[in-house]
Structure 1
Amino acid sequence: MSGAAGLIGGAAIGTSFNVLDDVLDELITKNVIFKPLLKGIKSRLDSLAPWLKYIEKSYKKLDLSDKELVNLEVHLEEGVELVQKCKKVRWWSMYKRYKYANRLIDWDGSLQRFLEILNVQGIRDVKESTVSVRNMEKLISRIESNMGIHLAVSRETFGSVPELPRVTVGLDEPLRDLKEMLLKDDVSMLVLTATGGWGKTTLATKFCQDEEVKDKFKENIFFVTVSVHPNSDVEKLYQRMKSQEAGQDPLLLVLDDVWSNSVLQKFVELKLRNYKILVTSRSEFPGFGTPYKLKPLNYKDSMTLLRHSAALGDSLSVPEDLLREILKHCKGVPLAITVTGNSLSGQAAESWLSRLEDWRKGSILDYETTLLLCLKSSIDALGDKEAIIRECFMDLVSFPEDQRISAAAFIDMWSELYMLDGDFRSIKNLHELARKGLANLVITRNENMAILDNYYSEHFVRQHDMLRDLGIYIAKLDPIEDRKRLIVLSGRNQPKWLREQKSQPINARLLSISSDGTYPTQWQSVHLPQVEVLVLNFKTENNALPEFVQKIDKLKVLIVTNYGLSPTELSNFNLLESLSNLKRIRLESISIHSITKNWVPLKSLKKISLFMCNMGQAFHNCSIKISDAWPGLEEMNIDYCDDLVELPAELCDLVRMKVLSITNCHQLSCLPEEIGNLKNLDVLRLRSCTELVRLPVSIENLTKLRCLDMYNCFGIRKLPEGIGKMRGLRKINMGQCSRLEELPLSVWDLDEQLEEVICDEEKKPFWDSFLARDKIKVTKEKSNLNWLEKPQL
């Protein structure tokens, strides 16, 4: 029995306390899975032992009701039972590890609430009995200083700036940025955002302790942790500000770990004078101050933090190459580096190597429970109203790490999985994920233009590797047969569930396989009756659709992405013929000729998207007509297909086509006259086809065409004379059409129906003669180099 536990006497509560203390001692020594959580609970019990003893004696002396102590005794007994169960959990059982880690956290939180109730009740009863509270306050002060527990006491200690860790790295530049941005006269609020464990609180603390900041705000610096459920300190501070106790001197308020903008709204509505508010949050809060995103650590700072956390100093006991490999898995996340260093501190190099090998089989989250729980709290905080955002986050892991993913792929997935009508709804969810720090949304050019014309092919998604690991981990928590999505990282390395495949069906709706293009024979026996979306990722020269795809009867969306350096062949396309529900196909970096030379009819296909594909020889000398192969096709997107010189006339036989989008095809020089056959066409998009010099005369037959997009087609000099016959036309985008010389007189006939014309400032006079000025919108080129952005560490 430890000395701390021995302070509790032989009463019932003391017995439960001592048993729990002994079990914790044993488990901390023998079990590394829950070690950080258990050490925290043990440290709390050690610090609270004298206080519990004092309260127990006070209740006896004063003959007070022991209801609260009885409840605490029951809670301690539940703790003993819980810790005993934790002893039986093995490291390979991810579900149980996560389950019992959460139970430990909940139990610890309940313990703190019990102690707050006892403290309030004890202080009140002690005061009523004229017993001195000085000793009680000393004990509470000791507890608070050791554990950081905020108990309801008569002293007003809220708002103080926490202590900095002994070593901080990578914060000098962000600190300079914060000072430069927040200390400006016209800035009153700044929102510091990053995912959990990135070091937001540490940076905010460093900001408060900066000499320049302290000199400016003197004693008027208040630091309050808000968290998911704001505590009484937040309300105390609000009431103090509301009563103007802070005076008129410069004031700095730090609201740490904010999860809802309702807290910010309260303080903004106070309309304080001469104040600054620094907010730290995992989410962005548009409309609430200037945003600042904290980046992961670079390699040098990561190494410094790892050596400090592991107490290595300049020691060479662990080889530098091994440390470098460890850091690759930590992804520059300070919390990941710290918990790794702490857990391996004092251990031989062989232990470091063993840990690295374990991570290679899974991920760091399989072994670092503290890091897992910190990251997962962002997902757990998504309420019922945000259930769709949680699902969308999980779907991001369908694509390989370190890749920029086209937002159009998610539009296809989510339109079918979640019945999202309108592409903008999927983009809205991506913006929400970005706002919550769960993904990065990269818009390569002209962000405002996308809102105007529903064009999202220049939207891309990136996700930090640690968050991707989190998504994969969460996906594996459910039993294999009950998972919503099945993520297979290699088609050749067979996962355990595939080797042990039984006859029971796997009910996932989404299946993602990242492979070398080959699939083990075991896949043939897998029963996938509910899969609606199949994502195939590979990086080889010649690839084939897996044989089992023909058995996925409910498949609605097929996305095939080649991450190699050049477009690749794709065989076995004929397997899709039996899939009567297939509506959408998206192919990236595929040679389309390998598909069209042996057409198979896909009667239900509604949309096909071709991104960076080779299609110069496609659609020629086909075995059957394209109109017979894809009779129901309504939308075709061709983007960045550099070898497309002339659009095949055969495509104009797809008379049900409503959207034809040909963008960034810089070699395309002409469109076929047969394009006038597309009588049902609603949108014709020719954006950034820079070699296109004219539109065919037959375009005047497209009487249902609503939107004509020729943005950045600077080779076009004039519009067809008969454009006025296009009675359905509502929008024309001719921005960056710098060589346009004149407009045909038939534009007069479009005056009443046209709702919007987008053009450049120098071409605006052309349209002024034909249209009302409120219909003409002038745009300026806002190109950027976001598309060159490299993944972070």
Structure 2
Amino acid sequence: MAESIILGTIAKQVLPAILQATYQIVSFREDVEQLQNTLEQLVPLFKEGKQVDLELTDQKRKGLEKFEKKLLEGEELVKKCCKISAPNIFQKYRYSRKISSLNKTIRSFCGLELQVESWRDNKLLRSDVQQMRMMVEGLTQQQGQGQGQIVGVGTLGNEGLLAVPKIPDRVVGFGMALRDLKNELFKENVTVLGLCAPGGCGKSTLAAMLCQDEEVRGKFKEIFFVNVPTTPTATYEILQTLLEKIGGGVLPSSWSEENAMKQFHYHLERKPEQLLLVLDDVWDKSVIEKFFSRTKGFKMLVTSREEFQVYNTEYHSKYHLEKLSHQDSMNLFRQTALSQDRNVGFEPEEDLLNQIVRCCDGFPLAITVIAKSLYQQHPVIWENMAKKLSKGSCILDFDENLRERLSASLDSLEKTVLDCFLDLSSFPEDKRIPASALINIWCELYELDDENEAFVILLELASRNLVNLVGSRKMTTGIVASFNDLFVTQHDLLRDLVIYQSRQRLIMYKREKGILESGRKQENHYFNPRLVYLGTGEMFVESWNDLQLPEVEVLILNFSASNYSLPPFMEKMRKLKVVIVVNRGRTCAKLSNLISLRELANVKRIRLEKVLIPSLHEFTLPLMNLQQVSLVMCDFDHALMQSTINVSYELPNLVEINIDYCHDIVELPPWICDIINLRTLSITSCDKLSALPERIGDITDLDLLRLHACTGLSSLPDSIKGLQKLRFLDISDCCDLNMLPDGIGELHCLKKLDMRGCNKLSELPPSAMNLVHLKEVICDQDTASLWEPRSSSLKINVPENDNNLDWLGVIFDN
């Protein structure tokens, strides 16, 4: 029978060949070992299927044929992986993802194409149905391991929404609390354990410590840690990620939250492993009720500021985290505020230390933030801080008074820096904020000289522990600072402080369509803001109410939908300078009502994330002052690529274009070459981009050309020699680039060249030696020798290999 032949080929030839090839890969073992684990389980399964001469339906037979084809492609992929050298970080990352995808495809096939019912209905397997059911379900339950994160005993689901936060360097006084919390969790009758304490007490830190405890990891085979946002789509987003990990696959975009929840519980009940789900910072008890299950081996740890009534019901328990003792508070403060070198800085008297620490009332976050603000400061600043903190009464009302104490740490911030800090209130909680978006906002709101000045402000906030930076390896090693892979996070308590201090900001979340009428009753200053954030689901023109926001300079639209209409009241925002549109959905969204942009003559910066880029013909009037366009994870409509527009009229002042992670872009729109005022063209991680326009040299004012990780590029057009003002060229991680154009030597203004990861460049054109103004080349050890003839006048920078790929995951998880 045909199906037996296919099964026999897969069982005897294809699967063993792939398995044998994996043992030769040495560059990225983790993903490969997971693939090996899958294959080792799958080979005997297919062999047994072949031996019993399975009778399959036409649909299943076609599925097997497609599966065989996919496996043959996988065999070629594995052979390519054997040739990747260890230092090639980007290639390792790229093929690691492909190996993970292959692993997921195999497991998905076993879970969806060869379902338990198909095996059960086969008359030749009736006598052994239970054994076969266990084998197939075993494969189904392990689906998702192809992501390289949930394998082995006590493995942490450490990607995206499931990331277990890092434990701070300084943790004091949690030893006993960790022991007690663990004992409570291990009680047989406890399914849901609530970890309760005011904000800033360290609930998230203690929960992260529990997840990384050896006993806990030994008991639970899978551990997921989820920060629970208050956004309308929070539960659905969590379900999407969890289902992919536990074997439920990708949710159809048309599914409701109710259907997704049923699917989650269905797959949870069929998991043989013990699983711990941590829901961090829950504000609504309904979230606990939705995820609650009496499935054997499943437990939940919930951190919350409120002691929900649900904690007092059957199968639920709670643990109240106490604030730090005075002695532990003193130890934490000393470790944070005082220099380890006793010959450096200021050594305060014990009474002064006690005075400040007592006012922190045992809140670790308050201690850390205030201590950080005093580190290596003048004695007068210490005394002034103690005086301010002592004026208030003891922290009894932890919410309001703690904010007042924390506010004292902001007093030393210069006004612009403080205003920038307050702008963080305009972004949703528990989400990474793109640094580039913040920098765009600050440059326009506060009329900063350049983006570097905004970045200095961001660094100052980070140095004071007011924000956390999740950074890219290229921030400090690239030719020019790139903020594309830099993100900002913030503790919930500090976010409360930001909102408490904010005055000229409007923040709105809608769970229903349309603007809430109750919002109109707010104080007037909320409706004369300079910055507005609107978070919604799917919106149509008729869904929007008419808001009067004449003073708005920055508008942030955050939604999760496949179709989204821009609010019609944008037409009245005559002072609008920055527009940021962010889609959190799974697929790119189609924008409508673009007429709202017609009257926005003052808009200078537009940032679009995960949307379908419309044709420029949909804009009937020019954007006279538009200077910067940033497109992140967007899809390009064919109409956009084929547009023929008068750029000098439509976009007369456009000087910067950023295109990042747009995986469907094969070529650039030809009209880009007509933007003669363009100074920055940055294209990163667009792996299908195969060539630059032949007329690229017509952009005569171009100062920076960045083509980072455009792995489909094999060459650059010779017309690049026309870029006579080009000073910075970044072709790093263009791993298929095998030659530079002969005319590159005519780039007489070129000062810096980044060519790391260009391993196929075995030689340089002779004209490269004519780059007399070239001062620095950043490259790998293998390509450094190419520049040896210029070594006396050229700085050849060979950075150390960065094998930490965590920063790459940020953009995909966000």
Q: What is the TM-score when the length of structure 2 is the normalising length? A: 0.52
Distance 1:623 1:201 in 2: 55
Residue from 513, 531, 534 that aligns with 2:555: 534
Give the counterpart letter for 1:756 in structure 2. E
Contact 1:659 1:681 in 2 (8 A): yes
Q: Using a 3 Å threshold, how does the CA distance of structure 1 residues 418 and 172 change in structure 2: closer, same or farther?
A: farther
Q: Using a 3 Å threshold, how does the CA distance of structure 1 residues 488 and 258 change in structure 2: closer, same or farther?
A: farther
Does 2:459 align with 1:431? yes
Residue from 489, 494, 505 that aligns with 2:509: 489
CA-CA distance at 1:265 after TM superposition: 7.5
Structure 1 unmatched runs, 5+: 1-163, 175-193, 204-251, 272-276, 290-364, 476-482
Does 2:772 align with 1:768? no
Contact 2:780 2:799 in 1 (8 A): yes
CA-CA distance at 1:623 after TM superposition: 6.8
Contact 2:754 2:777 in 1 (8 A): yes
Residue from 416, 419, 424 that aligns with 1:388: 416
Larger Rg: 1 or 2? 1
CA-CA distance at 1:786 after TM superposition: 3.5
SS in 2 for 1:591: strand
Identify the residue that residue 438 of structure 2 maps to in structure 1: 410
Identify the residue that residue 736 of structure 2 maps to in structure 1: 715
Identity %, equivalent residues: 37
Distance 2:629 2:468 in 1: 26
Contact 1:509 1:531 in 2 (8 A): yes
Contact 1:607 1:636 in 2 (8 A): yes
Contact 2:338 2:375 in 1 (8 A): no
Q: Using a 3 Å threshold, how does the CA distance of structure 1 residues 624 and 701 change in structure 2: closer, same or farther?
A: closer
Distance 1:666 1:201 in 2: 38
Give the counterpart letter for 1:485 in structure 2. R
CA-CA distance at 1:649 after TM superposition: 1.5
Q: Using a 3 Å threshold, how does the CA distance of structure 1 residues 626 and 517 change in structure 2: closer, same or farther?
A: farther
CA-CA distance at 1:586 after TM superposition: 0.3
Residue from 783, 798, 804 that aligns with 1:778: 798
Superposed, 1:151-190 pairs within 5 Å as 168-170=176-178
CA deviations 1:228-286 (Å, max 9, x no partner) are: xxxxxxxxxxxxxxxxxxxxxxxx99555469968877764699xxxxx9996227869
SS in 2 for 1:564: coil
Give the counterpart letter for 1:421 in structure 2. D
Contact 1:257 1:282 in 2 (8 A): no
Larger relative contact order (Cα-Cα within 8 Å, sequence gap ≥ 6): 2
Does 2:679 align with 1:675? no
Distance 2:593 2:574 in 1: 17
Q: Using a 3 Å threshold, how does the CA distance of structure 1 residues 440 and 270 change in structure 2: closer, same or farther?
A: closer
Q: Using a 3 Å threshold, how does the CA distance of structure 1 residues 700 and 381 change in structure 2: closer, same or farther?
A: same
Superposed, 1:390-789 pairs within 5 Å as 390-450=418-478, 452-475=479-502, 483-490=503-510, 492=513, 494-495=515-516, 498-500=519-521, 506-518=527-539, 525-593=546-614, 597-598=618-619, 600-615=621-636, 617-622=638-643, 624-751=645-772, 753-772=773-792, 775-782=795-802, 783-788=804-809
CA-CA distance at 1:629 after TM superposition: 1.9
Contact 1:716 1:737 in 2 (8 A): yes
Contact 2:594 2:618 in 1 (8 A): no
Identify the residue that residue 39 of structure 2 maps to in structure 1: none
SS in 2 for 1:668: coil
CA deviations 1:456-508 (Å, max 9, x no partner) are: 11101222344334433443xxxxxxx31111122747456534489999321
Contact 2:590 2:612 in 1 (8 A): yes
Q: Using a 3 Å threshold, how does the CA distance of structure 1 residues 620 and 667 change in structure 2: closer, same or farther?
A: closer
Identify the residue that residue 201 of structure 2 maps to in structure 1: 197
Contact 2:616 2:643 in 1 (8 A): no
Distance 2:500 2:617 in 1: 39
Distance 1:166 1:784 in 2: 31
Distance 2:641 2:692 in 1: 16
Q: Using a 3 Å threshold, how does the CA distance of structure 1 residues 172 and 444 change in structure 2: closer, same or farther?
A: farther
Contact 2:753 2:778 in 1 (8 A): yes
CA deviations 1:131-179 (Å, max 9, x no partner) are: xxxxxxxxxxxxxxxxxxxxxxxxxxxxxxxxx99994238999xxxxx
Structure 1, 580-589 or 458-467: larger mean CA deviation? 458-467
Give the counterpart letter for 1:463 in structure 2. Q
Give the counterpart letter for 2:591 in structure 1. L
Identify the residue that residue 281 of structure 1 maps to in structure 2: 368
CA deviations 1:269-321 (Å, max 9, x no partner) are: 699xxxxx9996227869989xxxxxxxxxxxxxxxxxxxxxxxxxxxxxxxx
Q: Using a 3 Å threshold, how does the CA distance of structure 1 residues 430 and 519 change in structure 2: closer, same or farther?
A: farther
Contact 1:757 1:776 in 2 (8 A): yes
Distance 1:520 1:502 in 2: 26
Identify the residue that residue 206 of structure 1 maps to in structure 2: none
SS in 1 for 2:429: coil
Give the counterpart letter for 2:465 in structure 1. G
Q: Using a 3 Å threshold, how does the CA distance of structure 1 residues 596 and 539 change in structure 2: closer, same or farther?
A: farther
CA-CA distance at 1:533 after TM superposition: 0.4
CA-CA distance at 1:384 after TM superposition: 4.8
Q: Using a 3 Å threshold, how does the CA distance of structure 1 residues 624 and 724 change in structure 2: closer, same or farther?
A: closer
Contact 1:687 1:713 in 2 (8 A): yes
SS in 1 for 2:708: coil
Contact 1:687 1:710 in 2 (8 A): yes
Give the counterpart letter for 1:633 in structure 2. L
Q: Using a 3 Å threshold, how does the CA distance of structure 1 residues 576 and 631 change in structure 2: closer, same or farther?
A: same
SS in 1 for 2:611: coil
Identify the residue that residue 78 of structure 2 maps to in structure 1: none
Identify the residue that residue 188 of structure 1 maps to in structure 2: none
SS in 2 for 1:488: strand
Distance 2:492 2:528 in 1: 27
SS in 1 for 2:758: coil
What is the RMSD computed on CA atoms of the aligned residues? 4.1
CA-CA distance at 1:701 after TM superposition: 0.6
Distance 2:741 2:173 in 1: 70
CA deviations 1:597-643 (Å, max 9, x no partner) are: 55542111000000000015252343743443212110000000000
Distance 1:200 1:492 in 2: 33
